[in-house]
């Protein structure tokens, strides 16, 4: 009796699969030399775009993109909202494991850094394709290497730039300046927020429990470690090569000394850390922290508009600059709607889409286009709206530090956990 069961199971499942499987032919790869043909092919396709869905403003922008794509290109765009990009990566791996080489369920992924490096290494991406996108030239990659470099790795045309992020600190000016009668206003020193990693330690000593960073291995938290390491390391050069090529212990020694000194003065005495970047923002809103940072320069202003942060919120960048990077979109190797995905990636690079994205009322994510080289009329669309005092002045973001090699992130994460977990 028992030995028949597996056979029966297979029969049952085969019946199901015969009944339900749709025999989609493998979609022909688009001819990248003929953009007009790609557009023709794209018409009528449905593009499933897997993108983090944790922000109502981002979601709203993607909904707008979907509308415009339907109007202009006859492509239906469906936003698959993720809580974590790795869920989409899982899906692609599962499809590859099942030998699904031409009929995948994901057509475009929003990603960068480690996720890109990993997908590229395991050959899960389609490309190179960026050179074929007519709007890609507007980023002027020759002058702006950041649009073709992702955490020091050349993108080699396997992902198309979409927006820019940079570590931005923010604080409640009301509280730091101390001009509120209900909060203490005894010191002039706290008037200015700390402008460097070293000053942050002094500031934390003077304001114990009012700052923290997300728990490693969180992305934002790990970026704080890199930021601190860049500021504290005697020689930055090794950080831009694989970590194996340098003496990790010696280079990172100043970082651990710094963190050992900093932790007792952090929120919860450094015995606990917030889970994520968004949680930092929640804690700021609840008044548990006085100083925090984010990867998205427009986040503080957007949070003020959403009543999450007080109107007295102000943003700034450290004096020597902060880490910044570009985020991208990529096409999985087995997407059946590559033409549609290409047209979408190109639309995302159009001045119209880029300007709309930069509008603080929409999302506030900064453009990857080389605005200075656009024609006058187009350039005017990119004037940054400085109405919100919580918004960073546009010139502040010129002080951008490049991301170290991705292997440093992993090494720092492991070292941090070995040092501070279960102490």
Partner 1 sequence: MLLRLMPTVVLALLAGPILAGVAMVLLPAFGHLPALGGETFSLAPWRELLDQPGLARSVSISLASGLITTALSLAAVLLFLAAAADTRLDRWLHRAVSPLLALPHAAAAFGLAFLVAPSGLLARLFSPGLTGWERPPDLLIVQDPWGLGLMAGLVIKEIPFLMLMSLAALPQLDAPRRVALARSLGYRPTIAWLKGVAPALYPLIRLPVYAVIAFASSVVDVAMILGPTLPPTLAVSILEWFHDPDLEKRFLASAGAMLQLGVTLTALLVWWGLECLARRLGRGWVVNGRRRGGEHWLSLTGRGFLVITTLTAGLGLGGLALYSVAGFWRFPETLPTTLTLGHWQTALPLLGGPVTNTLIIAASATLLAMLLTLATLESEQRSGRRIAGLSLLYLPLIVPQIAFLFGLVVLMETLGIRARLALVILAHLLFVLPYTFLSMAESYRCFDPRWTRLALTLGHSPNAIFWRVRLPMLLASLLTAAAVGMAVSIGQYLPTLLLGAGRIATVTTEAVSLASGGNRRVIGVWALVQAALPLLGFIIAMGLPRLLWSNRRGMQGAP
Query: Which residues, numbered 153-182, are part of the site for partner 1 (CB under 8 A)?
Result: 182
Residues 214-253 contacting partner 1, CB under 8 A: 215, 217
Selected binder of partner 1 within 40, 67, 84, 387 (CB under 8 A): 84
**52: DSSP letter:** E
64 binds partner 1 (CB under 8 A): no
Q: Is 97 in the site for partner 1 (CB under 8 A)?
A: yes
Q: Which two tokens stand for residue 395?
A: 């010139």
Residue 411, interface with partner 1 (CB under 8 A)?
Answer: no
423 counts as binding partner 1 under rule CB under 8 A: yes
Nearest to 301 by CA among 292, 291, 310: 310
Q: Using the rule CB under 8 A, is 3 a contact of partner 1?
A: no
Least distance in angstroms from the C-beta of 421 to partner 1? 4
- Name the segment binding partner 1 (CB under 8 A); options: 114-122, 225-233, 256-264, 389-397: 114-122
Segment interacting with partner 1 (CB under 8 A) among 97-105, 194-202, 320-328, 364-372:
97-105
Distance from C-alpha of 293 to C-alpha of 186, rounded to nearest angstrom: 25
**With binding defined as CB under 8 A, does residue 268 bind partner 1?**
yes
Is 143 one of the binding residues for partner 1 (CB under 8 A)?
no
Rounded to 10°, the helix 56-73/351-358 angle is 160
Taking CB under 8 A as the criterion, which residues in 182-211 touch partner 1?
Answer: 182-184, 208-209
Should residue 276 be labelled a site residue for partner 1 when binding is judged by CB under 8 A?
yes
Judged by CB under 8 A, the residue of 68, 102, 195, 308 near partner 1 is: 308
Q: Which of 48, 126, 162, 328 binds partner 1 (CB under 8 A)?
A: 48
Select from 141, 285, 321, 404 the one that contacts partner 1 (CB under 8 A).
285
The Cα 274–Cα 394 span in angstroms is 29
Neighbouring C-beta atoms of residue 145, cutoff 10 Å: 10
Using alpha carbons only, give the angle 218, 222, 224 rounded to the nearest 5 degrees. Answer: 125
Does residue 26 belong to the site contacting partner 1 (CB under 8 A)?
A: no
Convert 404-418 to b/e letters by CB count within 10 Å (16 or more is b). bbbbbbebbbebbee
User: CA-CA distance, 246 to 202, in Å (whole number)?
Assistant: 30
Among 3, 17, 36, 237, binds partner 1 (CB under 8 A): 17
The helix, strand and coil proportions of the chain, stated in percent and rounded to the nearest 5, come to 50, 15, 40
Nearer to partner 1, 224 or 382 (CB): 224
Q: Which of 61, 110, 170, 267 binds partner 1 (CB under 8 A)?
A: 267
**Helices (DSSP H) in 98-236: which residue ranges?**
113-121, 173-177, 197-206, 219-232
Site for partner 1 in 362-401 (CB under 8 A): none
Q: CA-CA-CA-CA torsion for 321, 325, 326, 331, nearest 10 degrees?
A: 180
């Amino acid at each position: 009796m028992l030995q028949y069961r597996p056979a029966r199971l297979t029969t049952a499942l085969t019946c199901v699969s015969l009944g339900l499987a749709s025999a989609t032919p493998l979609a022909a790869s688009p001819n990248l030399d003929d953009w007009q043909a790609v557009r023709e092919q794209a018409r009528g396709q449905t593009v499933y775009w897997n993108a983090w869905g944790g922000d109502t403003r981002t979601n709203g922008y993607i909904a707008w993109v979907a509308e415009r794509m339907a109007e202009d290109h006859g492509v239906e765009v469906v936003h698959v909202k993720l809580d974590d990009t790795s869920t989409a990566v899982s899906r692609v791996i599962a499809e590859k494991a099942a030998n699904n080489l031409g009929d995948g369920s994901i057509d475009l992924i929003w990603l960068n850094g480690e996720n890109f490096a990993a997908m590229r290494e395991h050959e899960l991406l389609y490309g190179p394709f960026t050179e074929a996108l007519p709007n890609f030239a507007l980023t002027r990659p020759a002058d702006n290497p950041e649009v073709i470099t992702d955490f020091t790795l050349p993108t080699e045309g396997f992902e198309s730039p979409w927006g820019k992020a940079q570590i931005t600190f923010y604080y409640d000016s009301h509280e730091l300046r101390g001009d509120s009668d209900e909060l203490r206003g005894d010191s002039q020193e706290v008037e200015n927020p700390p402008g460097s990693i070293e000053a942050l330690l002094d500031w934390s000593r003077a304001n114990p429990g009012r700052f923290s960073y997300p728990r490693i291995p969180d992305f934002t938290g790990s970026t704080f470690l890199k930021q601190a390491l860049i500021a504290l390391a005697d020689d930055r050069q090794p950080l831009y090569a694989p970590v194996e090529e340098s003496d990790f212990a010696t280079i990172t020694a100043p970082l651990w000394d710094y963190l050992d000194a900093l932790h007792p003065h952090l929120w919860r005495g450094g015995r606990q850390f917030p889970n994520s970047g968004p949680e930092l923002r929640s804690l700021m809103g609840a008044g548990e922290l006085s100083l925090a940072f984010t990867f998205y320069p427009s986040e503080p202003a957007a949070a003020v508009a959403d009543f999450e942060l007080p109107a007295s919120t102000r943003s700034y960048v450290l004096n020597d600059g902060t880490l910044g990077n570009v985020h991208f979109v990529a096409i999985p190797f087995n997407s059946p709607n590559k033409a549609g995905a290409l047209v979408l990636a190109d639309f995302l690079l159009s001045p119209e889409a880029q300007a709309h994205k930069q509008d603080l009322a929409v999302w506030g994510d900064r453009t990857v286009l080389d605005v200075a080289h656009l024609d006058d009329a187009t350039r005017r669309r990119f004037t940054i709206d400085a109405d919100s005092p919580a918004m960073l002045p546009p010139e502040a973001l010129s002080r951008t530090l490049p991301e170290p090699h991705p292997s440093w992130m992993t090494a720092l994460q492991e070292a941090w956990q070995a040092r501070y977990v279960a102490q």
